[in-house]
Amino acid sequence: MTVDTLTHPPAVDALLGAPPRSSGATPYPSAIRPRRLRRTAALRRMVRETELTPADFIYPIFVQHGRDVRQAIASMPGQYRYSVDRLPALARQVWELGVPAVIFFGIPAQKDPVGLENFADDGIVQQAVRAVKDAVPELVVITDVCLCEYTDHGHCGLLDPAGNILNDETLDILARVAVSHARAGADVVAPSGMMDGMVAAIRAALDGEGFSRVAIMSYAVKYASGYYGPFREAAEGAPRFGDRSSHQMDPANVREALREAALDVAEGADFLMVKPALAYLDVIARVHERFPQLPLAAYNVSGEYAMLKAAAANGWLDERRVVLETLTGIKRAGADIILTYHALEAAAWLNE
Ligand code: PBG
Ligand code: ZN
């Protein structure tokens, strides 16, 4: 009787129209049943391998000139461009939710071939850093270091007359930007331009100016991705001509990702980053395995955010479920830290 109910549920035989069997071979090795550990919520919690917490997140913030500005970004529902006076309240909200860090992207008042506001004492990011460090000194303030939001041509480097990026000349600008952000009070600078040698150049400049305490989070492995579309609208950083495939990586490559990461480790990066996240979970896993000594960040980029927001707005997906599932997946793949526009909503859900 006991054997029969375990191995041949009579109900199944009946459904299949099979003649009832009184005994016979075991159809499944019943000693091994993974479902035992999924039976109750407490058991599932006990054996959970990946725990997502608000401390895993970095919240990206767009900042622009003006007063009392909170301008909605159409392609990123729920995200805004803020003026500096709005930042202290936002920073307090971020901190109170348990999110330890923000990263700033600036929209300058004017653009020019070099991007002069990028390293101006009263540049938009410099003002933002000071405002937030005054309001919430404990909050980790990270700044994106690149040229594309500041240059009139929208490229990530200085250009020669033919429109080619001048890699080594650009390094001098990146170093000046990083030092300027450090002087304003940034805890971490995050070079995102994929220029060769950018980490070494920034490390040397920071140390030379007395900012050896400032860390570098390198966008070490950044792909030439269509998923940056909404960001480029938000930050007005699209190239006026051409694209970024002479410096950002080919989406087809992963061995090259390990090479890029190795270089940035050697140049003194304190964190590595893989960007975007979702189409590159294998890259996250590979970089995590190869360089376990450095914290690894993954950038859950604007297009990834926009996809879930759009599907949720249409009622096609359960937003809370898929956001937490997505972020858990990025962490499970090997990311220690996730830059995500979902940070505040996800933190609030996790805190419930
Ligand atoms: C460049 C930069 C970009 C992003 C972050 N830093 C855009 C680009 O490289 O074209 C994209 C972030 C996102 O899509 O969320 N400063
Ligand atoms: Zn750039």
- Domain limits for position 29: 3-45
Domain count across the chain: 2
What's the gap in Å between 334 CA and the centre of ligand 2?
A: 25
Domain membership of residue 280 (yes or no) is no
38 and 61: one domain?
A: no
| Residue closest to 195 by CA, chosen among 217, 228, 171, 172 | 171
210 and 231: one domain?
A: yes
* 11-59 pLDDT tens trace: 666 677 766 555 566 677 788 999 999 999 999 999 999 999 999 999 9
What's the gap in Å between 232 CA and the centre of ligand 1?
A: 7
Which band of pLDDT confidence, cut at 50, 70 and 90, is reported for residue 10? low
Q: Give catalytic residues, as residue numbers.
A: 222, 275
159 and 223: one domain?
A: yes
What's the gap in Å between 306 CA and the centre of ligand 2?
A: 20
Of 248, 268, 288, the residue at which a domain comes to its end is 268
Domain membership of residue 180 (yes or no) is yes
Ligand that lies nearest to the alpha carbon of residue 233, given by its number in the listed order: 1
pLDDT at 4: 43
Domain membership of residue 262 (yes or no) is yes
Question: Distance between CA 68 and CA 80 in Å, rounded?
Answer: 12
What's the gap in Å between 108 CA and the centre of ligand 2?
A: 14
Domain membership of residue 167 (yes or no) is yes
108 and 196: one domain?
A: yes
172 and 262: one domain?
A: yes
The closest residue, in CA terms, to atom 11 on ligand 1 is 228
Nearest-atom index, ligand 1, CA of 301: 15
Of 268, 297, 318, the residue at which a domain comes to its end is 268
Residue 5 has pLDDT above 50, yes or no: no
Which of 130-134, 244-248, 335-339 has the least mean pLDDT? 244-248
pLDDT at 274: 98
* 302-327 pLDDT tens trace: 999 999 999 999 999 999 999 999 99
* 169-225 pLDDT tens trace: 999 999 999 999 999 999 999 999 999 999 999 999 999 999 999 999 999 999 999
Of 228, 243, 268, the residue at which a domain comes to its end is 268
Domain membership of residue 93 (yes or no) is yes
The closest residue, in CA terms, to atom 7 on ligand 1 is 228
CB count, 10 Å around CB of 266?
10
* 264-292 pLDDT tens trace: 999 999 999 999 999 999 999 999 999 99
pLDDT at 3: 43
22 and 129: one domain?
A: no
* 215-268 pLDDT tens trace: 999 999 999 999 999 999 888 888 888 899 999 999 999 999 999 999 999 999
Domain membership of residue 39 (yes or no) is yes
106 and 167: one domain?
A: yes
What amino acid is encoded at 54 in this protein?
Answer: P
> What are the pocket residues of ligand 1 if the criterion is a CB atom closer than 6 Å to any ligand atom?
144, 146, 148-149, 192, 228, 231-232, 237, 244, 301-302
pLDDT at 319: 98
Domain membership of residue 281 (yes or no) is no
106 and 135: one domain?
A: yes
96 and 196: one domain?
A: yes
pLDDT at 236: 84
Domain membership of residue 137 (yes or no) is yes
Nearest-atom index, ligand 1, CA of 239: 10
Identify which of 219, 228, 305, 330 to mutate to test ligand 1's pocket (most ligand atoms within 8 A of the CB): 228
32 and 124: one domain?
A: no
41 and 62: one domain?
A: no
Cβ–Cβ under 8 Å, residues 113 and 66: no
* 84-130 pLDDT tens trace: 999 999 999 999 999 999 999 999 999 999 999 999 999 999 999 99
Nearest-atom index, ligand 1, CA of 230: 14
Q: What is the 3-state secondary structure (H, E, C) of the chain?
A: CHHHHHHCCHHHHHHHCCCCCCCCCCCCCCCCCHHHHHCCHHHHHHCCCCCCCHHHEEEEEEEECCCCCEEECCCCCCCEEEEHHHHHHHHHHHHHCCCCEEEEEEECCCCECCCHHHHCCCCHHHHHHHHHHHHCCCCEEEEEECCCCCECCCCCCCECCCCCECHHHHHHHHHHHHHHHHHHCCCEEEECCCCCCHHHHHHHHHHHCCCCCCEEEEEEEEECCHHHHHHHHHHCCCCCCCCCCCCCECCCCCHHHHHHHHHHHHHCCCEEEEECCHHHHHHHHHHHHHCCCCCEEEEECHHHHHHHHHHHHCCCCCHHHHHHHHHHHHHHHCCCEEEECCHHHHHHHHHC
pLDDT averaged over the chain? 94
What's the gap in Å between 14 CA and the centre of ligand 1?
A: 60
Which band of pLDDT confidence, cut at 50, 70 and 90, is reported for residue 75? very high
241: CATH? 3.20.20.70
Identify which of 103, 146, 221 to mutate to test ligand 1's pocket (most ligand atoms within 8 A of the CB): 146
The closest residue, in CA terms, to atom 5 on ligand 1 is 192
127 and 215: one domain?
A: yes
